[in-house]
Each structure stands twice: as C-alpha cells, then as structure tokens.
Structure 1
C-alpha cells in the first residue's frame, strides 16, 4: 500500500484507553518499572539538530482524521528516502497506525496490502509469516532490524519496541544482500522522544488473554543530550482456539547521546519470549482430497504440545554529519534466538480423516552478528547531480541444533480429523538435548550506488553489490561435511521520471541471491542442503503520494531458481519459477470524514525447465491467482473522536503441492472495528475494539510443499490506553 496511511487522530496523540474498574491492574514488574521511569527527569528538547540523530521514521498528520504519512523509509544500500522517490515497491506503517489496527504481528500490519498473502499465524501454529507476490519471505535473511539482518526462524518479532515496520516488495540483492525475492521486512527501533512520553495500555483478547504494556521516553541532562525509550509487555492467557495457551513478555531500552550537534551515539537492548501450548507444526495429506476446513475439528493439537522462543539482541551505532551534503554511519548488532519446540506433524493417511501424530522435539539456537559502515553524499558535475551511497558490511550466522532422539520424530499414535482423541505424552523422550554447530555462514559485502539526476524530472539509479558468501556444514562430531562459497555481483539499474512533485514513473531491473534450502524431516533426503538460488526482477511502475489520495501500480516479472519436493519425495533444486503480476493499491479521502483504501494483486505463476515431467509447467504451489483487499474508515460527526472501520480480504485458490494434485479453495475474511479518543482529567485516552474474521470463516493456508495449516477463527480484541 501507499506510505500515506488513513488514520484517526493526530500522530502525536499516541495513547490508548485505560478502564480501572473493569480491567486488571498492571503486573508488579510493570508497576515497578513505571515508578522508576517516572522518577527520571524528562524535559522537552530545547536544542539539538534532528539531522544529528539516527535515521528514524518521521510521522506527521495535518489534522485529526486525515491520513498519517510516513515521510521516509529505509532502503538499505540506498539510504533513507521518500517512498515515492524510489524505483521499487515499498510500503511502511507507523507505530501509531499499528496501534490503531490493534496489530499483533507483521501479518496484521500488512493485512490489507493485496501483495501480502498469509501463510501461517501463531494462533494455532508456530508463528506468523507471509508471502509477497506469491513468494515467501525468507526467515533467515528476509527480516531486518534497523536495516541489519535478524533471525526470525519460526518466531515472531513483537511490534511494541518498533517505531515503524517497512516492507520492500521483490528482490533486494543490491540493497540488502542475500534474501528471497519475496521481499524484506525492516523493523525500525523506537528512539528517545524529544518530549516526555508516558503511556500505559491494557488489552484483552478472547477467550481470556490479558496484556499490560508500558511505553515511556524522554530526554535529560545538559541540553537534553541524553535520551531514553523503554517498552515493557506482559501477555498471558487462554485463547479462543481450543487448548491453546499463550504467554509473552517483551522488554526493550533504546538510548542515545548527542555528543555534538553533528555526532550522535545510540544503543539499544531488546529481549522477548513467547511460549504457546496446544500448537501444531502442520498437516500433510496422503490423499489428493483435502476436506473442507469447516468440517475438521478445531482441537487437533495435543494440549501438551508446545512451541517456545526467546530472543536477545543488542545494537549500537554512531552517526556523524560531515557537512550539509555528506554524512557517515557505523552500526553493529548481535542477535541470539533460542527455539524449543515439541509440537506435532499430522499425516492424514486415508479419506476417513485418520492421521498419525508425530511429535518433533528440537532445541535450536541462532547467533547473528552484523557490522555495517555507510557513507552518503551529494555533489554536482556540471549540470548533473549525483547522490552517492557506499558501504561495507559483514554478517555471520551460526545455527546450533540438538542431536537427540526427538529430532527424528516421536510417534505419538493415531487420531482423527473429525473426532480427535487425547494421546499420551512421553515427557522424557527427546529432551536430552545435545547441541552441536550445524552450520556457519559468513557474508562480506561492498556496495556502491549513484542516483544521477540529469534534469529536475529525469534520473537514473545504478548500483552494484559484491558479496563474498561462504557456508560450512558440520556433523554432530564437529566434522565439516560440506563447504560452499560464492562471490556474486548483484547489480540494479532503474530509470525514474517525476511526472510532478508528488509522483514517479519508473522502470527497474534487480538481481538477487537467496540462501539455498534444506530437505525437511519428511523428505527422503532429509537434511540435505543446497547452494544459493539466483533471481531476476523486471518492474515497471508508477506511484503518487498526495494530500487526499495516493496510488501505487507495478507490473512485475520475477524469474527465480526452483526448490521443490519431486514425485519421489526427494527435495531438489532444479529448474525455474516464473512470477508475473500486476500489483495495485491506493487510498482516497472521499469526504472529510470518509477514507477508503484497497488494492488488487493479479498473479500468474509457472514452473519451467524442471526435470520432473509431473511438475514442469505447473502453477507454483502456495500461490493464488488473485488477492483483493478493501478497507473503509468513518469519523463519526455525531460522536467526536469516534472512528468506525471495516475491512475485507479475498484470497484466490491455491495448489498445495508442486505436482498440483492437491488444492485448497479461495476464502474471504472480514473485520470490524472502532476506536474512540478523548481526554480524561486532561490526559489523552483511547479505547479500541476489533472483531477479526467476523463471520468465523474457517479455511486452510498452505506454506511448504505439501503442507497445510488451519487458520484462526473469529477473534475479539480490545484495549485501552492512557497517555500522561
């Protein structure tokens, strides 16, 4: 969608409702933190140059009810720019709008973007994730925090510590290095506020999930040189999915020190943990017939099955403004994710719905380190203007696995889709974890781009990244089993024409590499790992961003290497996939109190040059032919401060497997919501409520080759926030 976002309320009006009589008190930890934070001095900034701070999302709103505009987005090796000034499809959502939508994961953030297709959600399965234009976002390289690689393997990143979430659709080889052609999700960390911020939010979700959230920030010290931003979240309870319990905690602290007007140092530390019980890994059908999701019982998972992750990350950086035209930056980030799962894979082996429940128990750890240095500047050569971005980057990824019995799967017994039964837990099997280094990946890169402006309207972007990629795989005995290296150049080139000050027409070409996949535990060649896949993208587009309306239109084609499970149940890397489509979206303020937004994705996919004749020429699995979205917001004049909204999304049918012998039907979901903003005792108060999947539609989603997942049913959410 456009970076111009409909919203009710000023961007500075952040807080949300708090009803002491009917909602529970904050947890003791939150109360202690609140008391400590309120005791810190916090003054409105009187001095300081915004250019000296780290690049952050800038959000402005002209009046209550008008669209909230995200002014600038991150573009990796292109630096920060307005979305409308880039030759790529980029969308960004601010933390204000995230709160207004009551979004819980990135799935919710980009729900109404027609290019985004939900693959799985954490209501019934391990985590939430999605595809963009039919291509799954890479869980090892497709997620960034402040532009640096961040692990999200089977884990969700909480939204509370972040000021903005950005989505780059399509290839990212030049801008970010390795990553699938589905796109890049970038989370921009919340930074210290210039004015004191104190916000408490209490939330509720059916069946009985309660949450308490705290967000505080400000500045102190001589000339307000020191800043802080602290977020804390506690969430716990039984969801409306049978037997599913969730517990989540998040803590984050971001600081900065304005050493001089031109030099700023920043640092942050974030930790989050989530555990869900009653979850499943996925289902696979041994028959060509997949029953209607509405006919299947909802309590397929065993109540003792679980999935747990915890993540710690630390980042720091320095930004230095050399002069009005040149600036440089250096940043470092460390991230560690632990994952402990004991959930089940269900294999349905007959048309009666009988399935075998196999419980997989793994302990996995990922360690990431990233260093990045960048220089950005402008200069003229005669009448031609240049905008240069150059940089160096280093990234290491290490994965540790356990080698216990649980990794090979534990047969729990059989059950039935329509009449599931409780199976006995085997608590001591597969929990004697013996971790070992499974692989290590290193990437060293250097990149350079020049945006050459020949006239006030016409410009050319040329960029290239050189990447030195190495991967070493090991046995549990620390014996190196394989080594892979590649030294690719990934270029990009684009022509841009400003039809006016608010609009850009463009043509772009991008190349990219993504990390090769591994055979799953259900494949004959389980564990086999392949080298990188190459992709190419061609895109022609137009985007405009105005006061009362905005639009994005992109015609694209992507050719990428193919990985799939052949008819012999062997995971292979062979042939190509072709994705051709039209991605359109926009928003319009119809009248003073009415805003509409929506879009359409048309998508055609096909496999080419595949050795397996049962797969060659097929439609790519897990890709719909179309997605339609729409959303309407209404600021009620009869109750000032009250906004009503509704939205819907239609997703076309998809093949489940590469052989195109299994299919799931199209589905439609609809949501309703309201928010009310007022002032109580001089404090800002906002109450929100939403009903997702209003009609309780039950449907399947599909992800990996041959897998389906059950989606969440009707869910009611509400929260109340107080800012003081």
Structure 2
C-alpha cells in the first residue's frame, strides 16, 4: 500500500466474552489510528486480473465481482499489490479510509509476486501476523495481536467453514482480506471460538473482462514439481455470463530429507449479472497429502534451548503422514428491490476427510536426546453455512444512513476417532534421529472409536441476527457506525466409542459495536472503535 503518512496511537478496545456465564474477559489493546493515503487510482480495476477493464463501443462495461455485489470489488492501489478497501463483515465492501476498523486486502498480483502457495505463505509477509502450526499437526494457524486465528475460522466470501480446514492453496482464491481485531458484531462468532485478534476472508476467482489462458510450471528445492492452469472467458449478451476454471498439481520431495508432498486441486467460478440481480457460484476440490513431514518439537525438563539442527535435517518417523481431502461449494445472489434497497443471500457447504499418523518429538536434553510415540486420528466434517440480509440507504435531511439487517447460520457435524500409544515411547535424537520401522500398536494403546469408521464426535450450531447503521454527517467527513448482533452458540459432544452425549452447551449473548471515522480530506482520516469477540467455554485472555 502506498501511504504518504502513517501514525498510530492505541485506543482501540477489544472485549472478549466467555459464553456460559458470559462474564467479560477484558483483553484491552488498541487504537485510534491516523491514516494518510496517497490519492486513489480512479480507473475501475478488474478484480480477476487487477488491470483496468475494457469498455465496449456502446459504453457498456462489464464489472465482474467475486462477492456478487453491484459495485464489484474495491480497486487496487497503484502498483496492484493491495486494494483500496475490503469486505468488513455485514457492512459489505468498505474503503479503508471510510471504515473504523483496521483492514488490508492483498490482491492476486501480490500473491503471485510473493510466490505464495498457501494463506500462511502470504501472511508471513504481513508485519502483524505470525504463522504457526495447529496443536500437534500440520494445520496452519495465524497469531494476531497475541491471539490465535485457526484456519478452521477462515471465511470464504464471508462464509465460515467452507474452505479446507488445514491447508488452503492460493489457486483457490483471488484476494486475502485481513481484518485486525475482534469482529463478533461484523462476522459473528467463529466456529472454533477464535478470531479474537483478527479474521481472514478469502475471495474466489472470477472471469475478467478479457479472456485468460494461463499455464504455470514450477520447480522447487529438493525435487518438487508444480503445474497449474487458469482459464476464463465471458459469454452472452453484454458478456453477462462468466466462467473461470483453474487447477493445479504438485508432487515431489522438499528441501528437507525424506519429506515429500502431493497436492491436487480444481476450482470452478461462475457468475451472471443482470440489471437488477447478480448470481455467483463456486465449486472446489482439494486433495493434500504429506509424507514424513518434519514434526513439531516440544522441550521438556531442559535448562536451555538446544541449538537448531541443520535446515535439511528431518526427525520424522518413516511411517508418519497426513492426508486431507475436501469438496466444497457456495452460491451467492443479490437482488435490487429498489435503487436504495438490496437483498442478498448465500449458502455454502463442505465435506472434508482427514487421516494422519503423527510422531512429534519431545526433547529432554540439550544434546538432542528425546522420544516420540505414535498418535493416529481420522476425522470427517460436514459443514453448512448460510447468510440472508437486506441492505439499504436512507436520506434524512442532511444525514445519510447506510443500514444492514442480516442473519447467519453455521452448522457442523464432526466425526472422529483416535489411537495413541503414549506408553510406548520410542527413543530418538533431534540431531541423530532414529528411524523406528516397526510402528505396531502395543498393549498400552488408548483408543477412541474405530479409526477406519469414525463416528459422531461433536455438533456445532451458530445462529445470529445483526443490525448495523453507518450515519454520514458533515458532507461525509464524519461517519458513525453502530451495530449489534445477537449470537446463539450451541454445541454437543459425544463419546468416540459409545456415542453417549458427554456435553451439551446452549447459550446466547448480545455483542455491540460502535465506530467513528473523521476524514477532513481524501488523504487522511482518524478513527476508533469499540467491538467485542465472543466464544463459548472458559477461554483465557492470557
């Protein structure tokens, strides 16, 4: 982003509720920001290619949109790396100079320039994000403002839980929209209870105004080959119908000894635009396989951190692996009842399957001595996510109101099974690993269900309704946003083997928000907000 001035003074309040008793856990941090920006590029940008669209001789211009909105995506700044705005939950697309929340939208051009292969690869470049792994596995996790945002809680075009849970390849999305801070009023509670420090929204690819025929070949360190195709075109009267298809395949070894990965994916994006309505649909498939991937290291009882091993050293066991396969799709539509009244609806679903055999290393001496044990698990997810809402504009005297009324639904059914042989500790070393070829289960193994036939482990249902209004005053120099969401969180857990219900949780809460933006001129603005994060259980703020 090209900025002429940027300074910040913290006054941004983040408030986390723990559902149940809903006693507030105050995690206070943040910010009144003074933002200065370079003048915006005035040309409309085609969000699929980040280049200005072409106009037909009769002055009709087709503006494609990843989110099925009439205005299309916010244009990119000069240079094409970041956009001038992004989706801000139920408020819709907002210019960064007009919203009281801290956001950044990375474009597809930036993704390509960084040669990023996943969401984590891209966000490593953001100074406010640190990328980590999930608990004991290879799932991506993102640390923002001291809190973890799990990849489970990533949104796809505003819908939770639709994209693959552990690893999301960049071929599946057009933009990465990063919103820092809590967002319960804007997006609703996150499925896994995260997003207190920030949220991530990924936008699907769309056909641009010009035909696209792209073939990508790659070769990486070790022996990793990659091939991808990306094609699109528009059809019909005024090019109203758009089709975009992209697929990729990756296979081979990495730069780490004996480590290999295989990835296959395909995605189809469709859109149709008429005078009063717009419809888009996205369908995707991803199959990600990891073999003998270098696992996490845990320190236990050591007085100092051991020296890091060589970069190509691998202490994974030869039988360890992690596989994930997902099939997903979404449909989104908008209809203009009047010039100042638009209704919208969206629905998405995902079916995911995971299985892995893990052997994380615990180091107990600074010379690298440690041990590992076998831990297997299987998981199947069925997720549905939906939205329904109305957006309108209302002029009352010199005051303009931009209001939104929305309802959200998230439903997840998780099946799972596990087996871990903690009593059979296998000796090894961080620097001189021992490969244990025999990984047979022993009498000390603890089982939860049947690994080959996982049964119902948990159910989660999130429902909410929200109302927000942005009031513009003083010739749009002052904007005040007020919003509130009523959120209900319902979860049930079951014994992996007996299917007896082990927990049943059902509670709800109101989460308000207020934000102010003052923009003396187009080059800078000062803003602040109050917003809350919401999760169930006994989450801690430290």
For residue 517 of structure 2, what is the aligned residue in structure 1?
496
Question: Equivalent of 2:298, from 279, 284, 299?
Answer: 284
Query: CA 1:410–1:219 in structure 2 vs 1: closer, same or farther (change >3 Å)?
Result: farther
- The residue aligned with 2:207 is 192
Q: What is the aligned partner in structure 2 of residue 453 from structure 1? A: 472
CA distance in 1, matches of 2:394, 2:111: 38
- Whole-Å Cα distance in 2 between the matches of residues 50 and 12 of structure 1? 7
| Separation (CA, whole Å) in 2 of partners of 1:60 and 1:295 | 41
- For 1:644, the equivalent position in structure 2 comes to none
**CA distance in structure 2 between the partners assigned to 1:167 and 1:89 by the alignment:** 8
Q: Tell me, which stretches of 5 or more residues in structure 2 are unaligned?
A: 4-36, 39-43, 50-54
Mean alpha-carbon deviation: is it higher for 244-253 or for 71-80?
71-80
Deviating more after overlay: 44-53 vs 277-286: 44-53
Give the corresponding residue for 1:147: 158
Give the match's secondary structure for 2:305. Answer: coil
2:284 aligned residue = 270
User: Contact conserved, 2:341 with 2:390, CA < 8 A, in 1?
Assistant: yes
Counterpart of 2:23 in structure 1 is none
* Partner SS, residue 109 of structure 1: helix
1:367 lines up with 2:382 in the alignment = yes
**Residues 459 and 495 in structure 1, CA contact (< 8 A), matched pair in contact too:** yes
Q: For 1:333 and 1:104, how far apart are their aligned partners in 2?
A: 24
Paired residue for 2:150, among 123, 126, 138? 138
Quote the offset at 1:380 in angstroms.
Answer: 1.4
Instruction: Give the Cα–Cα distance (whole angstroms) in 2 for the partners of residues 51 and 101 of structure 1.
Output: 25
Q: For residue 474 of structure 1, what is the aligned residue in structure 2?
A: 494
Residue 73 of structure 2: which of 54, 57, 63 is its match? 57
Give the conservation status (yes or no) of the 8 Å contact 1:168–1:184: yes
Mark the runs of 5 or more structure 1 residues left unpaired by the alignment.
Answer: 16-42, 516-530, 534-560, 563-575, 578-724
Contact 1:217 1:229 in 2 (8 A): yes
In structure 1, the residue matched to 2:411 is 396
The DSSP-based 3-state class of the residue aligned with 1:322 is strand
Q: Could you say if the C-alpha distance between residues 266 and 154 of structure 1 is closer, same or farther in structure 2, counting changes exceeding 3 Å?
A: closer
Distance in 2, matches of 1:211 and 1:44, equals 37
Q: Distance between the aligned counterparts of 1:153 and 1:283, measured in 2?
A: 25
Judging changes above 3 Å, is the alpha-carbon distance between structure 1 residues 427 and 11 closer, same or farther for their aligned structure 2 residues?
A: farther
CA RMSD of aligned residues (A): 3.0
Alignment length (residue pairs) = 482
Contact 2:62 2:240 in 1 (8 A): no
Measured in 1, the distance between the counterparts of 2:535 and 2:235 equals 45
Distance 1:165 1:81 in 2: 15
Q: What SS does the corresponding residue of 2:373 show, helix, strand or coil?
A: strand
Say if 1:12 and 1:87 are closer, same or farther in 2 by CA, change over 3 A: closer
Shift of 1:175: 0.8
CA spacing shift, 1:280–1:241, aligned 2, 3 Å: closer
Aligned to 2:332: 317
Q: Find the partner of 2:93 among 70, 75, 80.
A: 80
Q: TM-score, normalised by structure 2?
A: 0.82
Residues 11 and 61 in structure 1, CA contact (< 8 A), matched pair in contact too: no
Partners of 2:458 and 2:492 within 8 A in 1: yes
Trace 1:152-163 onto structure 2 (pairs within 5 A).
155-163=166-174
2-side partners of 1:464 and 1:387: how far apart?
15
Tell me: CA distance 1:199–1:116, structure 2 relative to 1, closer, same or farther (3 Å).
Answer: same
In 1, are the aligned partners of 2:467 and 2:485 still within 8 Å (CA)? yes
> Would you say the 8 A contact 1:59–1:68 is kept in 2?
no
Q: Give the CA deviation at 1:45.
A: 11
Q: CA deviation at 1:191?
A: 1.5
Q: Is the 8 A contact 2:309 2:430 kept in 1?
A: no
Relative to structure 1, the CA distance from residue 162 to residue 266 in structure 2 (aligned partners, 3 Å threshold; closer, same or farther) is same
TM-score (norm 1): 0.62
2:452 corresponds to 1:438: no
CA distance in 1, matches of 2:331, 2:150: 25
Q: Give 3-state SS (helix, strand or coil) of 1:487's partner.
A: strand
The DSSP-based 3-state class of the residue aligned with 2:338 is coil
Q: Which residue of 2 aligns with 1:508?
A: 529
